[in-house]
Each structure stands twice: as structure tokens, then as C-alpha cells.
Amino acid sequence: MSHWNTSLATKLHAALVSREERWIRRRLPDPNTSSSGSPLIDFNSNDYLSLSASPALRSRFLRKLDAAPDILGSGGSRLLVNGRAHSAFEARLCNFFGSEAALLFNSGFDANVGFFSCIPQPGDAIIYDEYIHASVHDGIRASRVRDAQYSFSHNSIASLRQVLAKLLNERPGVRSGANSVFIAVESLYSMDGTFSPLSEITDLLEKTFPQRNGYLIVDEAHATGIYGPQGRGRVADLGLESKVLARLHTFGKALAATGAVVLTNTLIRDYLLNYARSLIYTTSLSYANIVAADCSFDMLTDGTAEELASDLLEVSTHFTDYLRPRLAHIPPELLSLPSHLSEASVAPPSPIIPLMTLHPRPLSAYLLALGMNARPITWPTVPKGKDRVRVCLHAGNTVADVEKLAQGAIRWAEETMAARKKEVQRDGQRFEESKL
Ligand SMILES: Cc1ncc(COP(=O)(O)O)c(C=O)c1O
């Protein structure tokens, strides 16, 4: 294949070159910046509670693994081989989250694709927050809802209300209750660290849909383990369990495992088992994976996660409080906090803190040279003009770590400003000389 010179190769190559030219070509990061033992301070991974480095979790996992009857593989799709460990874990999750039913998926991505591709029926409508995750988009695209897909402005109740009013106006089936409306949100948005106004949304749905045909689906991927009693998430924190059709919790972020669970009712679970292709046509999570996720939930139930989350949110607040006043003399397009963080707020702190900048790559490279790993995020992952360095904080980050990060970012901005000033002066000088 070394001289692969077909028209397909030409097209693929051209697409990559085009991405390169627009500075949006994706590449795998250097493994040395990501693995344990890296000297870099991690402001990048989604390991919010630092559980992946927890000696207690590691030894618990190894002990349970040693004692487990099955650890290798899983033998096939859940519909072919339904391991005892998988069923027992689902029962545990139902109990822990107080849910009627729970269904495991191999990942949060698969769960969103599975749910949104099959649960909405022809004639139904789907509304999603404009910042919703790519997996929900993929699910919606594969669904039977073709002409009734709407987005609303990020976290805007006014915008959601407008979309709902339009729907009710234009679709008699939605008005009568014959058709359903699904609303997709994330409890904590992965790129912005903003919280969905869940209580306001459920209130609005109750008022708008007396026939109870408006359904909320909450993706808790980034809130799992951090918010709510023992890390049960934002829905549980706000007591909205009975007002939400389905919640997604993933195990790959704060829980240091992989996989996901959809918490819902038994009818939806049965339907997913019959129609969700991302569940039916794939080998289920391996036994070892179930053991790992089960051990992570031990850390939630024994109160460890709550303690770590408290450390995490404390260090997150410290970072923004420390950085905010130091940004006063920096032009916002060079470096700023997003509007929801530009002044102290009543919202709970979030470990996801975007450093807004039109130059995310140079800032990220500067921080890397100082021993800190925080990744640049650009379009198409975030909207055009909303480039940033996404800072993800962890329970294991210290006050000194986050102050170093803030100082590094400020120093980069100051040096960039100074370099620009010099350039302007040089240009002025050249202009004067050209007149001589
Ligand atoms: C909001 C959100 N939902 C779902 C997913 C997918 O979860 P997983 O990594 O388990 O596939 C992600 C991961 O990036 C996410 O950020």
C-alpha cells in the first residue's frame, strides 16, 4: 500500500491537507504526555477525581479481579451471552441511582447513538441544546425523525420556549399528545463547563405538555461522580429523577473505567434491547471492565468520591478566583474567561474551565513548555470564533499547580502583547524611514 495512488487516496489526502491549511487537522497527542509517569501536570484528561491514580482503587480492582469467576472477554453481545456480572452490576446501578431500570452500553457514545436513533418515533420531534455532544447528533441523524430536529440556544430557556411554541403551533400531533417531543441536554457541558438549567426545563415541560408527551434526556457524562449525593449527578442533586425520561452516566471520565449506563424505565429498556443497534450488534463490556466500573462505584458509595469532589471543586474555585483579577489588563480576544466565569457566580463550581483565546495553539504550546498539559480546542469541536484552551482540573491538582497554570497563561498573554507592541513600533519606524 506504500504507493497507494488511487483517486480515493488523492481525495483523502486533499481533505487532510485542507485541514492542515486551516489549522484543524487532528492528530493523536504524544503518548508520553498522557501516560502515568509523565512529568507534565495534567490539565487535560477527564479523570476529574484522579481515580486513575488512586492506589486504593487500584488494589481494590486487582483484588476483585483475582476473586471474580469470569474476567476475560464477555463472549458476545448481551443478547447472546448475558453475563451474571453484567446483570448484577445493572441491579446495583438501579439501586444506587433509584432508577426503575438500567441498561449498560459499551460507551456513552454508543448509548446516545442507540437511544436517539431508535426511541423517537416517526412524527415525533427532537430538540437539543446547540452545544450537545456529537454522539447525540449521530443518534438523531440515524433516527426516524427527519423533518423535526431543532436546536435551541445554549442553556437559554427563552430560546427553548420559542422552539416549543413553534412546534405546538405547527404540529397538531404534538399539541394533541399523539406525537412526542424529546429534549436532549448535558447536565454539565463538556467544552464550556456550564450547567443546564434542569429545574427550569422540567418546569417548562410540565407547563407546556399537559399530555405529558415532552421528555427530557440528560447526559451526565461530565457530572457523574462529582455532583449530587455520593456523585449521583445533577439530576439527583436537584431531585428531578421522576421528571427525566432517561439519564446517561458514563464510567470513562471521573470513574476511571469505561462504559456507560442508561437509567430509565423498563419499557424503554426493553425497547432499547430490541432496537438499539449500538447495543445489539456489538460485544458487550468485558468482565474485567465490569469489575473495574463496579470498583469505581465502591468509591462512590464509601464516600471517597464525595471527598475528592469537594477537593476538586475547591481547587476549581481557587483557580478562577486567582485568575480573574489578573486578566484585567489583557485584551479579551487574547485571553479571557467565558462570560459565566468572568465574575464570581452562584452556580456550583465546575472543573471544566475554558481559557478563551483566538490563539489556542500557541498558548497550549507555551504551557506545555512550562510542564503543563492543557489542550487547544478549535472548530469543529467548538463553534467558530470560540476557540479555547480547555482546562480540566482534577482532585489531584494542588493550589500550587493551578496558580502555576494561571501565571503561565498570563505570562504568555503579556509576552504576546509585548511582542505585538514591538512589531507595531518596528512597522512605524519602517514607515518613517520609507518617507526619507
Ligand atoms: C457529553 C458527553 N456525552 C457522551 C460522551 C461519550 O462518552 P464515552 O466517552 O463513554 O463514549 C462524551 C465523551 O466525550 C461526552 O462528553
What domains are there in the chain, each with its CATH number? 28-48+304-430 (3.90.1150.10), 56-301 (3.40.640.10)
Among candidate residues 322, 380, 393, the one with its CA nearest the CA of residue 354: 393
Q: What is the pLDDT of residue 198?
A: 98
Mean pLDDT score of the chain? 95
CA-250 nearest atom, ligand 1: 10
pLDDT bucket at 426, cuts 50 / 70 / 90: confident
How much of the chain exceeds pLDDT 70, in percent?
Answer: 99
Least confident window among 39-48, 87-96, 375-384: 375-384
Q: Which of 135, 248, 352 to mutate to test the pocket of ligand 1 (most atoms within 8 A of CB)?
A: 135
CB contact at 8 A, 290 and 251: no
- Amino acid (one-letter) located at 351: P
Question: What would the pLDDT profile of 255-308 be if each residue is shown by its tens digit?
Answer: 999 999 999 999 999 999 999 999 999 999 999 999 999 999 999 999 999 999
pLDDT at 344 over 90: no
109 CA distance to ligand 1 middle (Å): 6
Q: Is the pLDDT of residue 432 over 90?
A: no
Which residue out of 45, 187, 190 has the highest number of ligand 1 atoms within 8 Å of its CB and is therefore the one to mutate?
Answer: 190
Cell digits of residue 47: 479523570
- Please tell me the predicted confidence (pLDDT) of residue 435: 74
- Quote the pLDDT of residue 358: 95
Which atom of ligand 1 lies at the shortest distance from residue 110's CA?
11
What is the rounded average pLDDT of the residues 139-168? 97
How many C-beta neighbours within 10 Å does residue 429 have? Answer: 10
Could you identify the residue written with the cell 469467576?
69
- List the one residue out of 155, 210, 211 whose CA is nearest residue 183: 155
Cell (9 digits) for 28: 493523536
Q: Candidates 250, 253, 279, 390: which one to mutate for ligand 1, based on the most atoms within 8 Å of Cβ?
A: 250
- Is residue 111 within 8 A of residue 262, CB to CB? The reply is yes
Range name among 17-21, 23-27, 144-148, 366-370 with the lowest pLDDT average: 23-27
For residue 348, what are the CA distances in angstroms to 195, 219, 316?
8, 18, 10
Task: Reply yes or no on whether the pLDDT at 431 is more than 80.
Answer: no
Cell numbers linked to 205? 415541560
pLDDT band at 343 (very low <50, low <70, confident <90, very high): confident
pLDDT value of residue 53: 94
Q: How many whole angstroms separate alpha carbon 296 and alpha carbon 225?
A: 9
SS3 state of residue 415: helix
CA dist., res. 415 & res. 412, Å (int): 5
Q: Is cis: bond before 380, omega within 30 of 0?
A: yes
Contacts of 398 (CB under 8 A, 6+ apart): 315
Model confidence over 1-55: pLDDT tens digits?
Answer: 667 889 999 999 999 999 999 888 899 888 877 767 778 999 999 999 999 999 9
Q: What is the pLDDT of residue 2?
A: 60
**pLDDT of 376:** 95
Expressed in angstroms, the distance from the first to the final Cα of the chain is: 61
Q: At what angle do helices 399-435 and 304-326 cross, to 10 degrees?
A: 30
In single-letter form, the type of residue at position 200 comes to E
Separation of CA 191 and ligand 1 centre (Å): 11
Task: Say if residues 259 and 282 touch (Cβ distance below 8 Å).
Answer: no
Sheet bearing 260-264, strands edge to edge? 101-105, 260-264, 246-250, 214-219, 181-186, 125-129, 149-152
DSSP 211: T
pLDDT tops 80 at residue 239: yes
User: 92 pairs with which residues across the strands?
Assistant: none
Ligand 1 neighbour 225 (Cβ under 6 A): no
How far is it, in rounded angstroms, from Cα 78 to Cα 147? Answer: 33
Report how far ligand 1's centroid is from the alpha carbon of 416 (Å).
35
Residues contacting residue 109 through CB under 8 Å, at least 6 positions apart: 134, 135, 138
In order, the DSSP letters of 50-114 are -GGG-HHHHHHHHHHHHH-S--S---S-TTT---HHHHHHHHHHHHHHT-SEEEEES-HHHHHHH
At 31 the pLDDT is: 82
Nearest atom in ligand 1 to the alpha carbon of residue 132 is 1
CA distance 253 to 251: 6
> Which atom number of ligand 1 is nearest to the Cα of residue 251?
10
Residue 1: the pLDDT is 60
Q: Does residue 278 have its Cβ closer than 6 Å to ligand 1?
A: no
287, 288, 293, 296 alpha-carbon torsion, rounded to 10°: 140
Look at ligand 1, atom 7, and give the residue with the nearest C-alpha. Answer: 108
* Partners of residue 376 on adjacent β-strands: 389
Q: Residue 297: name the closest of 344, 250, 337 by CA.
A: 250
Pick the residue with more confidence: 343 or 142?
Answer: 142
Distance, C-alpha 135 to centroid of its chain: 10
Nearest to 264 by CA among 102, 136, 92: 102
Contact 245, 264 (CB under 8 A): yes
Q: Are 390 and 354 in contact (CB under 8 A)?
A: yes
What's the pLDDT at 159?
Answer: 98
Count the Cβ atoms, other than its own, within 10 Å of residue 56: 13
Residue 233 has pLDDT above 90, yes or no: yes
- pLDDT, residue 427, reads 81
